[in-house]
C-alpha cells in the first residue's frame, strides 16, 4: 500500500459525517507539523477548521490547498458492498465513504507536500492548507469563517487548489476553473381558502401562480459566455392544499433555484423575478437566499501550472469546466485568489459503494506535487 493509499484509508476509517471531524484534522496536522507547517486550529460553532502554513522563503505566492474532512451520510449501511468506514481495496478500487469526496484528495495533498518539501525545503513562497469539517452541510461555520479570519490577519491567498472530485473519466481530464452562482427562492402565494363547489367565494393560489411560474420557467435570463452555460431556473418543490379533495387551498409554497453565470447578477435576477410576479397581480412573499456568487479563473499562473502538471503526469490535455454545483471555492475566489478544482473521478460521489481507482490517488498526488514545482520553484 502506497503512502497516499495508507493515509486515505486512515482518514476513511474516521466516521466524519458532517460536521463531525472525528479526528481527521489531528491526523493531518501531525504530519504537516513534522514538515515545518505552523498550524492554527479554528473552531467555529460546531465546526472544526484549521489553517496551516509553511514559509519556504523568498517573495513567491501564497498557495493554498483547500478541502473538507466531512462526508455525507451513508444511508443504510447494509446496502454497501463493504462497510462504508472500513476501507477496502478490491479489483484496483479503494472503497469507502469519502474515497472520492474528498479524503482521497486530502491524502494526496499531504503526501505531495511531504515529497515536495523533502526535495525542496527552501522553496519559494508559502504553502498553506485551509481545511474544514462543514462543506457537506450548511457551510456557515467552515471555509467562509476561515476566510474572514485570514482577512482579519491581513493574509491574502494568491492561488488556491480545491480538492473536489472534478474528473469525469480519468483523473485530471477535467479541472474546474469556476462555478456558477446559486440563488434560491422560497415563494409563498396567497389566495382565499374555500369549497371547491363555490370557487366564486374563494381564490385559488395554485391557479394564480401557474401562469407566473410558467413565465419564470420560460424566461431567458442570459446567453452565458465561453466559460458558462446560460443561467438556468428550476422549481424543486411545490406544496399546497389541506389534503382534502374538496378544499381550495389558501396558499401555495414553491422553492426555486437559479444557477447563474457571470453574465447576470443575483440582484438582477431578483428584480426580474419580482417584476414577473408583480405583473400577474399576485399577493406573495418572496425570500431570496444567495448561496454563492459565480467565480471564474480564466487564465493565469494557477491554470497554467495545473494544465502543465496534468500533462506531465498523465499526458492528458485537460478540459476547463464550470459545470456542476457549488464548492467552497465560492468563498475564496471573491478575495481575489485564483481558484481551480482538481480531484478524483466523481462518478460515485455521495453514492452507495463510493470508490476511486487506487492508482488514481497516487497519480493525483503526483499532479499536486508538480503544481507545487511549477509555482514554487
Identify the burial level of 36 via C-beta atoms within 10 angstroms of its C-beta, where 0-12 means exposed, 13-18 middle and 19 or more buried: middle
Q: Which three cell numbers stand for residue 331?
A: 468563498
Catalytic entry in 20, 101, 135, 136: 135
Structural Rg of the chain based on CA atoms = 24
Angle, in degrees to the nearest 10, between helices 358-376 and 3-12: 110
User: Is 135 among the residues known to form the active site?
Assistant: yes
CA pair distance 269, 148, nearest whole angstrom: 27
Residue 324 CA: distances (Å) to CA of 68, 169, 178, 235: 18, 15, 10, 17
Catalytic entry in 20, 70, 136, 360: 70
Q: H or E stretch including 195? A: strand 194-195
Cβ contact 111:33 at 8 Å: no
Q: What number of other Cβ atoms are within 10 A of residue 344's Cβ?
A: 29
User: Is 70 among the residues known to form the active site?
Assistant: yes
- Which positions are annotated as active-site residues? 70, 135
Amino acid at each position: 500500500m502506497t503512502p497516499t493509499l495508507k493515509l486515505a484509508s486512515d482518514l476513511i476509517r474516521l466516521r466524519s459525517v458532517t460536521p463531525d471531524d472525528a479526528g481527521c484534522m489531528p491526523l493531518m496536522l501531525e504530519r504537516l507539523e513534522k514538515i515545518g507547517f505552523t498550524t492554527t486550529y479554528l473552531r467555529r460553532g460546531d465546526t472544526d477548521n484549521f489553517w496551516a502554513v509553511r514559509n519556504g522563503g523568498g517573495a513567491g505566492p501564497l498557495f493554498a490547498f483547500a478541502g473538507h474532512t466531512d462526508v455525507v451520510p451513508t444511508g443504510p449501511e447494509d446496502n454497501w458492498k463493504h462497510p462504508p468506514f472500513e476501507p477496502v481495496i478490491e479489483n484496483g478500487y479503494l472503497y469507502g465513504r469519502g474515497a472520492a469526496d474528498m479524503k482521497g484528495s486530502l491524502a494526496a495533498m499531504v503526501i505531495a507536500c511531504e515529497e515536495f518539501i523533502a526535495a525542496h525545503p527552501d522553496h519559494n513562497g508559502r504553502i498553506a492548507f485551509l481545511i474544514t469539517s462543514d462543506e457537506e452541510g450548511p457551510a456557515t461555520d467552515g471555509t467562509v469563517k476561515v476566510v474572514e479570519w485570514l482577512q482579519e490577519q491581513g493574509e491574502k491567498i494568491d492561488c488556491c487548489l480545491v480538492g473536489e472530485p472534478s474528473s469525469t473519466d480519468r483523473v485530471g481530464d477535467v479541472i474546474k476553473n469556476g462555478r456558477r452562482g446559486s440563488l434560491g427562492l422560497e415563494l409563498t402565494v396567497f389566495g382565499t381558502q374555500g369549497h371547491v363547489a363555490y370557487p366564486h367565494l374563494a381564490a385559488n393560489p395554485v391557479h394564480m401562480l401557474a401562469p407566473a411560474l410558467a413565465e419564470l420557467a420560460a424566461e431567458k435570463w442570459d446567453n452565458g459566455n465561453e466559460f458558462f452555460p446560460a443561467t438556468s431556473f428550476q422549481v424543486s418543490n411545490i406544496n399546497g392544499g389541506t389534503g382534502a379533495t374538496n378544499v381550495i387551498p389558501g396558499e401555495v409554497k414553491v422553492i426555486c433555484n437559479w444557477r447563474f453565470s457571470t453574465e447576470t447578477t443575483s440582484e438582477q435576477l431578483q428584480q426580474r423575478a419580482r417584476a414577473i410576479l408583480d405583473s400577474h397581480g399576485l399577493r406573495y412573499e418572496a425570500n431570496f437566499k444567495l448561496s454563492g456568487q459565480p467565480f471564474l479563473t480564466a487564465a493565469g499562473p494557477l491554470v497554467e501550472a495545473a494544465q502543465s502538471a496534468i500533462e506531465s503526469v498523465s499526458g492528458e490535455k485537460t478540459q476547463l469546466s464550470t459545470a456542476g454545483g457549488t464548492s467552497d471555492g465560492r468563498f475564496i475566489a471573491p478575495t481575489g485568489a485564483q481558484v481551480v478544482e482538481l480531484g478524483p473521478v466523481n462518478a460515485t460521489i455521495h453514492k452507495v459503494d463510493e470508490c476511486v481507482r487506487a492508482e488514481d490517488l497516487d497519480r493525483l498526488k503526483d499532479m499536486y506535487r508538480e503544481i507545487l514545482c511549477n509555482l514554487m520553484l
